[in-house]
Structure 1
Amino acid sequence: MKIRVFVSLKEGVLDPQGKAIGHALDTLGFKGLGEVRVSRVVDLDVPATDKETALEQGAAMAKALLANEVIEDFFVEVAA
């Protein structure tokens, strides 16, 4: 079963990559942008047969490796 783990910085944590992208977009003429934040998506094919187990596996993987819970939030969904 395919799942998708979304990882993003927690609110209030500085995002230097987002700041750099926002500045570059402004330089390219995309004016008036507010805050720019960068997140990442990890697509996984897990050996689960039901949705609940797949989501549990995704959360366990996020907690173990994919997200630094001190500064990042995550959520998991079953991919279409």
Structure 2
Amino acid sequence: MGRVVVDVMPKPEILDPQGKAVAAALPRLGFTGFTGVRQGKRFELEVDGDVTEEVLEAARRAAETLLSNPVIEDVIRVADAQDRA
């Protein structure tokens, strides 16, 4: 069984209140040195068999059509979960 990972992030010009809340909480909890946070979404799609280029292309289409809102979000990555990049 294969797995495809899809990462979706808010477009840079879109406000990210959840990211801002996390950024404000980090120093209060002793985590310093971070200058900003953006929170996105991660999807893991399981497939029967191997992750092929055809499977990745279908996942890209699903990401652009269903998994993200193209008005406010960008699909950052669609990859085989086995790939560490």
TM-score, reference length from structure 2: 0.81
Structure 1 residue runs without a partner (length 5+): none
Percent of residue pairs bearing the same amino acid type:
41
DSSP-derived class of the 1:30 partner: coil
Q: How many residues align?
A: 80
Equivalence map 1:25-64=2 (5 Å): 25-47=26-48, 49=50, 51-64=52-65
- Superposition CA RMSD, Å: 1.7
Q: Which amino acid aligns with 1:76?
A: V
1:52/1:21 Cα in 2 relative to 1: closer, same or farther (>3 Å)?
same
Distance in 1, Cα, partners of 2:51 & 2:19: 36
Distance in 1, Cα, partners of 2:33 & 2:51: 45
Distance in 2, Cα, partners of 1:26 & 1:19: 12
Q: Using the TM superposition, name which of 16-25 and 57-66 deviates more.
A: 57-66
Structure 2 residue runs without a partner (length 5+): none
Cα shift at 1:54 = 1.2
8 Å contact kept, 1:46–1:57: no
The equivalent residue for 1:79 is 81
Moved >3 Å (runs of 4+): 47-50
8 Å contact kept, 2:6–2:78: yes
